[in-house]
Amino acid sequence: MKHIKYITLFVTLAMAFVACDMQIEKATLSPQSGYKAPVLQSQGSVIINEDNSKVEAVTFNWSAASFGPAVQIEYSLYATANGQTALVGTSFTQSLSISKTDLNGLVANDLDVGVNNTANVDAYLMAKVYGTKLEGVSSNTISFDVTTFAADLRYLFLPGNYQGWDIGNAPQFWETDGGTNIYKILVDMEDGSDQYSYFKVTVARNWSDENWGYNFLTPSWYCPEQGDSNLSVDLTEGSIYVLTVNRGKMTIDKKGIEKVGIIGAFDESGWGTDLDMTYDAGENIWVSPAITFSSDLNFLIRFNENWDMKYGTDNEASQAVEGGVNLVEGGNDLLVPAQGTYVMKLHGNRTPYVLVVEKQ
């Protein structure tokens, strides 16, 4: 009995100590009015160009925030311009560095500044106690100029089940503009399976360099987990997609397309029916059937048989694809040069899309 009493007394004292300790911890957090906000230091003008973008970084510094006791504080740095706000990054210290390459992409794309432009950018911090739902505090706002530039276009690759996982011939897709960190491709991922078509994104046509599934790229849609961490699309929802990779944020988004077609007076109904363009994964192009133009030489590319998704021309030749013309959403009618039979080849791995007209 004596041992039981001692044990009971020990447990009671321990519980009382824990309860007391919990009350002390709770009591030591300052009330919100006593929180101390960080002070973000000023930042000089940032000029990004071809020479410095790959070797230099921009560092932001600030004084420490305080919430009373010694706690782990997470700082989130945001940038704003043109009514847009973007997260620059997070830190658990009193500084954050971002490469000029990534800053160029963030300002050019996320803040809608574009390339080869100078814009005034505001920046501020949000500080909060890490791992809690306590309301954080905001720093002062600083302003500085950022000059962006059009870097050389970079590219990624898209191996997957739809092309037999042939990494050596994985379709290539390009940045929307140099230095934006945004990559897009119009692709048909049909692989003949009942539901999921699996794929990854790679930086080269091999598996030894970086390759990303959902464990590295965060998808905006649900991908069922499996051993290889492959990304996937649900073929029951469609197989044609515009895939967008944000390499700065390491995210991937998709937009479903029901049909890629070509329309013109070559059809008996006279601009009434779209002819399907089919995706050739080996060549990474969309190809039309052979079309004979006998009188009216005009035509357009359309998605989903929808006039709000038509692609035409502003008569700008492509600098990326020999003999191609840049497509413009909502642009003027395209033209073949003369009567005859032609095959149209759409390069959907570039921004803007490029169309090549081949005489048969």
Q: Where in the chain is the domain with CATH 2.60.40.10?
A: 36-147
Model confidence over 213-243: pLDDT tens digits?
Answer: 999 999 999 999 999 999 999 999 999 999 9
Superfamily grouping for domain 36-147: Immunoglobulins (2.60.40.10)
CATH code at 260-359: 2.60.40
Model confidence over 324-340: pLDDT tens digits?
Answer: 999 999 999 999 999 99
CB under 8 Å to 24, separation ≥6 — which residues? none
Sheet with strand 201-202: strands edge to edge: 172-174, 155-157, 201-202, 211-212
Cα–Cα distance between 1 and 10 in angstroms, integer? 14
- Fold type of domain 155-257: Immunoglobulin-like (2.60.40)
DSSP-derived 3-state class of residue 227:
coil
DSSP-derived 3-state class of residue 179:
coil
Q: Where in the chain is the domain with CATH 2.60.40.3620?
A: 155-257
Average pLDDT by consecutive 10-residue portion of the chain (360 residues)?
Answer: 45 42 45 83 96 94 93 96 95 96 90 94 96 90 96 94 98 91 96 96 97 97 95 97 94 98 83 94 97 92 97 95 96 94 97 97
At residue 238, the pLDDT reads: 97
At residue 12, the pLDDT reads: 45
At residue 9, the pLDDT reads: 41
- Whole-prediction pTM: 0.75
